[in-house]
Amino acid sequence: MTTLTHCHLRQGKRIAFIQANWHKKIVEQGRLSFQAQLLEAGIHPSLIDLLDVPGSLEIPLQCKLLAKTNQYQVIVAAGLIVDGGIYRHDFVASTVLDGMMQVSLQSKIPVLSMVLTPHHFNDQSHHEFFHDHFKIKGMEAANACIQMINNEHKMAEIYQVA
């Protein structure tokens, strides 16, 4: 997968990447491919702040706290919500994604999701599939990030908005 185009952050802005620690070895594959794809587009990893949270439920609050700093042009969050047999993972996923969307709409900062909820996952699963899937999702999230940054630049040119 190739990047959409070369990309530059607005002066003084950064990208935040929030990673949930449940199933970290799988989720971090997305982060690594995200960083690599952005580097190809001209955004150095030093411009990406990495934050760990215990689980996906903590992602929306972390997004909101980061958005309030006004330091970020885009916030990206990654997590893996699985059916642990104790709670309804689909409700957790919905809550997390709704919270992320609220932050995005209220702050006017794009909040991109790499929070995934597989249909079938257990500790005996072949984790290679999920490792590879998160690598793909990382590239897709990077391309979405690039597109949102470039859209913002284009809108600023068209409407001469800072």
* Sign of torsion over alpha carbons 88, 89, 94, 100: positive
88 catalytic per annotation: yes
Amino acid identity, residue 89? Answer: H
For the record, the structure tokens of 139 come out as 């590239």
DSSP state of 49: E
130, 81 contact by CB (below 8 A):
no
Kindly name the residue from 10, 14, 31, 88 that is annotated as catalytic: 88
**What three-state secondary structure class fits 85?**
coil
Contacts of 155 (CB under 8 A, 6+ apart): 161
Active site residues: 88
